[in-house]
């Protein structure tokens, strides 16, 4: 039986431009874009933007191992509500996603959930930074990005070899930049606020030294390198100049790094604890400017659920991370002062390219799989503490009023969200 | 005042009123019977996640002299050892029906956080490197009792300011009360940023020693060498310790202070520690009266105030 519907009355935006048009979807595929299309069913998009589904390069789904915080299913539901049709699942699970069998497990669990779950593999066995993980066998299963996220690969020789090996596989290595000698035992940014609060802090240089090192290694090896969650002005500047020099590097920034500063930690509430830590207002400005100029390619959520009891620990003992999937788009639209097409570039087609899934995500075009989101850019709402569809509630934006909300999400032609409601 | 969490929350007038209240308890402490039952029927819990026999006993003595019931929650032998969370511990204790919790914890911010899980008043008995407000009050009281007031005094705080909750509290209290503070330490033992701190900084104790009214020495911990913050305790003592020679160069009226416990031979020479102008035991004695004042301020009432006065007549 044919399933057909038309998304009617919206403004279609993707990398190729924008146009007021209806979008006709049949059996999971976009079959028509144009004025006055008709289908057996209508999804209203009046006053809305019809965009490609969003792609998150940085999602912690916590399964396997920490299902009390999130599951692949609950995280995918949160993603759908946030407008995402694909997320890249980080490998810092228990066990770590560091070999073919765990990749297969995650892919099997992810079958049929509310968005595509792309799997990132670990660079080193157990993310321990000592021995290369079998990237080849994971690459055979479709893994295109490798990272030890949660920590950076500290050993320079090992990182060099990892990049060289990755180049042979045609995959990308993504780095969580943090030099452990400068970050061990710390729980926030080192500066005026940490000094006042009496908290051990890590300087911006803890991140910047590894960014600097990895740019040198990328130059040396010619391998593709992606920098995760850049948080300092210095990092943004270095990656921008590496790109200007023609190196094959890309980078991302997280919503909390363009909205929140280390001053938030004055509350001692671990909901504001994250790695890399919330930085200064100057760093926030640099991240915003980098997103505006395009030197930061993508907004990635670093969605990191933790159960409430973990976030009730003392600040220095609590685990780092905060939710992001349901807030990233609204925060970007509200805070960045960017044209919506530019925001969508950072949230959809750029990350789709980096993830190597641009054939299935990041465009609204005839003949493509219908991975779409329909955004009401004028919908004002206040972020609450519920955590939405996530199993966790570590939301650092509670009480903030934002503008722009995902009204519908279409994943492989199937509506996962209709009129702001998750479809089961 | 609902809680005593940080000197940062207090105005000069709050500090002065606490010091004036302390005067009354010091006066009472000189009587044959030191107890005043101003908090009879109240229950005070000492919840020390970090060992500190001195501070705990000081608080418990203060509470007992006010007639309060005192419960000691000893973390080492309790449910906390079995993995009970901070929140569960606080909620459990609160369920007994209590009026105040004196909390000490190795993590900065714990007293601020536990407020939301109890109706009891919270007294910060020291949190991480952050604050130790009753220490700042007893230090201020001790200085005031020697000089009449802190206004215009020049106070050096010498040593490991970076890791010191005492220093963070003292800087705020001393400057709010009108003193000038100079921090004396190698850069490695200072906080990474002093933006917004109303202090001056020196790396040379010899240049400062002749200019100050109070020489406040901080405890130097042995593990700081492992962290490459100082080359050796010997070098630290040589450059920043209060040697007899440096103590000689203090002004006639200047006093020597230390929060205890002292590392004799490191931050202070044994000879300097035993000089008449070293007031370390006075600080300890004033600690009880200051904590009585703090507990009374949080839990007491006017009518009980009168009871104290009457007991004195």
pLDDT digits (tens, 9 = 90+) for A80-101: 999 999 999 999 999 999 999 9
Read off the pLDDT band of B52 (50, 70, 90).
confident
Name the token pair of B186.
Answer: 């190698």
Q: Which of B222, B220, B217 is nearest to B283 (CA)?
A: B217
- For residues A120 and A143, the answer to whether their CB atoms sit within 8 Å is yes
**Whether A338 and A382 share a structural domain:** no
Peptide bond into B75 cis (omega under 30): no
B194 to chain A, any CB pair closer than 8 A? The answer is yes
**pTM, rounded to two decimals:** 0.96
pLDDT higher than threshold 90 for residue B312: no
- For residues A29 and A39, the answer to whether their CB atoms sit within 8 Å is no
Judge: B165–A198 Cβ closer than 8 Å, yes or no: yes
Rg (CA), chain B: 20
pLDDT score of B51: 84
Pairing of strands B154-158, B214-217: parallel
Buried b (16+ CB within 10 A) or exposed e, A328-359: bbbbbbbbbebebeebbbbbbbbbbbbbbbbe
The Cα–Cα gap between A243 and B1 comes to 56
pLDDT score of B162: 97
- Which of B110, B113, B194 is closest, CB to CB, to A195? B194
**Whether A194 and A313 share a structural domain:** yes
What's the domain count of chain B? Answer: 2
Mark which of A326, A355, A384 sits at the end of a domain.
Answer: A355
**Whether A45 and A154 share a structural domain:** no
**Whether A14 and A117 share a structural domain:** no
Give the three-class secondary structure for B30: coil
Q: Which of B203, B220, B199 is nearest to B154 (CA)?
A: B199
The Cα–Cα gap between B183 and B156 comes to 6
Task: Give the residue numbers spanning the domain of B277.
Answer: 133-283
- Which of A195, A200, A314 is closest, CB to CB, to B193? A195
**Whether B189 and B61 share a structural domain:** no
Which regions of chain A are under pLDDT 70? none
**Whether B166 and B279 share a structural domain:** yes
Find chain A residues with C-beta within 8 A of B175's C-beta: none
The Cα–Cα gap between A117 and A90 comes to 10
Q: Which of A116, A90, A113 is nearest to A103 (CA)?
A: A90
- For residues B178 and B197, the answer to whether their CB atoms sit within 8 Å is no
Residue A246 contacts by C-beta under 8 Å, 6 or more apart in sequence? none
Q: Which residue of B has its CA nearest to A189?
A: B192
Judge: B87–A312 Cβ closer than 8 Å, yes or no: yes
Give the three-class secondary structure for A189: strand
Read off the pLDDT band of B305 (50, 70, 90).
low
Helix axes A100-109, A72-81, angle to 10 degrees: 60
Mean pLDDT of B175-179: 98
If you count them, how many residues does chain A have? Answer: 424
- Could you tell me where the DSSP H helices lie in A222-280? 233-244
Place of tokens 């809680």: B3
**Whether B228 and B276 share a structural domain:** yes
**Whether B52 and B81 share a structural domain:** yes
Place of tokens 């209508």: A42
pLDDT higher than threshold 70 for residue B309: no
Q: Is residue A363 part of a domain?
A: no
**Whether A215 and A81 share a structural domain:** yes
Mark which of A316, A331, A355 sits at the end of a domain.
Answer: A355
Q: Is residue A195 part of a domain?
A: yes
pLDDT higher than threshold 60 for residue B313: no
pLDDT score of A115: 98
Q: Which residue of A has its CA nearest to B112?
A: A268
Burial tier of A119 (Cβ tally within 10 Å: 0-12, 13-18, 19+): buried
The count of CB pairs under 8 A between chains A and B is 69
Judge: A192–B195 Cβ closer than 8 Å, yes or no: yes
**Would residue B54 show up in a list of annotated catalytic residues for this protein?**
yes
Q: Is residue B77 part of a domain?
A: yes
The CATH number of the domain holding residue A373 is: 2.30.40.10
Peptide bond into B261 cis (omega under 30): yes
- Which of A198, A201, A309 is closest, CB to CB, to B128? A198
The CATH number of the domain holding residue A251 is: 3.20.20.140
What's the domain count of chain A? Answer: 2
Judge: B130–A198 Cβ closer than 8 Å, yes or no: yes
Mutate to test the interface with B, among A189, A198, A266 (most CBs of B within 10 A): A198
Q: How many CB atoms lie within 10 A of CB B277?
A: 16
Residue predicted with more confidence, B76 or A187: A187
Give the three-class secondary structure for A23: strand
**Whether B107 and B157 share a structural domain:** no
Mark which of A308, A326, A355 sits at the end of a domain.
Answer: A355
**Whether A94 and A219 share a structural domain:** yes
B239 to chain A, any CB pair closer than 8 A? The answer is no
The Cα–Cα gap between A83 and A67 comes to 23
**Whether A400 and A316 share a structural domain:** no
Name the token pair of B199.
Answer: 């202090």
Buried b (16+ CB within 10 A) or exposed e, A128-160: ebeebbebeebbeeebbbbbbbbbbbbeeebbb
pLDDT score of B223: 74
**Whether B165 and B259 share a structural domain:** yes
Name the token pair of A149.
Answer: 């996220």
Peptide bond into A356 cis (omega under 30): no
**Whether A345 and A379 share a structural domain:** no
pLDDT higher than threshold 50 for residue B11: yes
Task: Give the residue numbers spanning the domain of A79.
Answer: 53-355
Q: Is residue B1 part of a domain?
A: no
ipTM summary value: 0.95
pLDDT (tens digit per residue) in B189-239: 999 999 999 999 999 999 999 999 999 999 998 777 778 899 999 999 999
**Would residue B12 show up in a list of annotated catalytic residues for this protein?**
no
pLDDT score of B224: 74
Q: Is residue A361 part of a domain?
A: no
The Cα–Cα gap between B10 and B53 comes to 27
From residue A279, give the alpha-carbon distance in Å to each of A189, A287, B23.
6, 10, 45
**Whether A402 and A273 share a structural domain:** no
**Would residue B132 show up in a list of annotated catalytic residues for this protein?**
yes
């Amino acid at each position: 039986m044919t399933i057909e519907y038309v998304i009617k009355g919206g403004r279609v935006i993707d990398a190729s431009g924008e146009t007021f048009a209806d979008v006709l979807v049949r059996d999971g595929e976009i079959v028509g874009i144009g004025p006055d299309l008709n289908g057996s069913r209508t999804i209203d998009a009046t006053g809305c933007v019809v965009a490609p589904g969003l792609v998150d390069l940085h999602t912690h789904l916590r399964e396997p191992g920490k299902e009390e915080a999130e599951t692949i299913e609950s995280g995918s539901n949160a993603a759908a509500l946030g407008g995402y049709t694909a997320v890249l699942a980080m490998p810092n699970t228990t066990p770590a996603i560091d070999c073919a069998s765990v990749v297969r497990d995650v892919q099997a669990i992810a079958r049929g959930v509310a968005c595509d779950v792309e799997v990132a593999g670990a660079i080193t066995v157990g993310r321990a930074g000592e021995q290369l993980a079998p990237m080849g066998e994971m690459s055979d299963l479709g893994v295109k990005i490798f990272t030890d996220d949660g920590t950076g690969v500290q050993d320079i020789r090992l990182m060099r070899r990892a990049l060289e090996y990755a180049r042979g596989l045609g995959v990308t290595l993504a780095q969580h930049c943090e030099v452990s000698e400068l970050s061990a035992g710390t729980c926030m940014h080192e500066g005026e606020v940490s000094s006042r609060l009496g908290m051990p802090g890590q300087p911006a240089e803890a991140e910047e030294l590894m960014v600097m090192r990895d740019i040198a290694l990328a130059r040396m090896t010619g391998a593709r390198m992606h920098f995760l969650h850049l948080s300092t002005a210095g990092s943004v500047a270095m990656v921008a100049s590496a790109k200007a020099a023609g190196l094959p590097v890309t980078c991302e920034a997280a919503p909390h790094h363009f909205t929140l500063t280390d001053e938030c930690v004055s509350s001692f509430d671990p909901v504001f604890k994250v790695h890399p830590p919330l930085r200064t207002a100057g760093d926030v400005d640099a991240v915003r400017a980098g997103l505006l100029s395009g030197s930061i390619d993508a907004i990635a959520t670093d969605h990191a659920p933790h159960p409430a009891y973990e976030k009730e620990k003392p600040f220095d003992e609590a685990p780092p991370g905060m939710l992001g999937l349901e807030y990233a788009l609204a925060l970007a639209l509200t805070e960045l002062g960017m044209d919506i097409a530019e925001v969508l570039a950072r949230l959809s087609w750029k990350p789709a390219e980096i993830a190597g899934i641009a054939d299935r995500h990041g465009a609204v075009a005839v003949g493509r799989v219908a991975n779409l989101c329909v955004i009401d850019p004028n919908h004002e709402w206040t972020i609450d503490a519920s955590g939405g569809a996530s199993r966790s509630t570590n939301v650092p934006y509670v009480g903030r009023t934002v503008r722009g909300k995902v009204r519908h999400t279409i994943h492989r032609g199937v509506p996962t969200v209709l009129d702001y409601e998750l479809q089961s | 005042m609902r809680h005593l969490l940080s000197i940062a929350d207090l105005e000069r007038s709050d500090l002065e009123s606490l010091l004036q209240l302390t005067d009354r308890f010091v006066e009472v402490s000189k009587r044959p019977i030191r107890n005043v039952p101003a908090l009879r029927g109240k229950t005070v819990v000492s919840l020390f996640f970090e060992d500190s026999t001195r501070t705990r006993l000081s608080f418990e003595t203060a509470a007992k002299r006010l007639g309060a019931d005192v419960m000691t929650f000893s973390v080492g032998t309790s449910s906390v050892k079995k993995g009970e969370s901070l929140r569960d511990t606080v909620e459990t204790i609160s369920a007994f029906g209590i009026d105040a919790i004196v909390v000490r914890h190795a993590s900065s911010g714990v007293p601020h956080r536990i407020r939301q899980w109890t109706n009891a008043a919270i007294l910060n008995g020291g949190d991480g490197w952050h604050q130790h407000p009753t220490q700042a009050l007893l230090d201020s009281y001790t200085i005031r009792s020697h000089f009449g007031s802190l206004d215009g005094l020049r106070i050096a705080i010498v040593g490991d300011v970076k890791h010191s909750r005492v220093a963070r509290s003292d800087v705020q209290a001393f400057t709010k009360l009108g003193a000038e503070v100079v921090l004396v330490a190698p850069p490695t033992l200072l906080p990474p940023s002093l933006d917004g701190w109303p202090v001056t900084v020196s790396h040379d104790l010899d240049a400062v020693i002749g200019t100050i009214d109070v020489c406040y020495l901080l405890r130097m911990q042995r593990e700081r060498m492992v962290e490459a913050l100082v080359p050796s305790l010997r070098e630290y003592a040589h450059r920043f310790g209060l040697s007899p020679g440096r103590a000689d160069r203090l002004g006639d009226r200047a006093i020597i202070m230390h929060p205890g416990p002292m590392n004799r031979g490191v931050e202070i020479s044994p000879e300097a520690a035993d000089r008449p102008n070293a007031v370390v035991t006075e600080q300890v004695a004033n600690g009880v009266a200051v904590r009585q004042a703090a507990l009374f301020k949080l839990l007491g009432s006017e009518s009980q105030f009168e009871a104290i006065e009457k007991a004195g007549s």
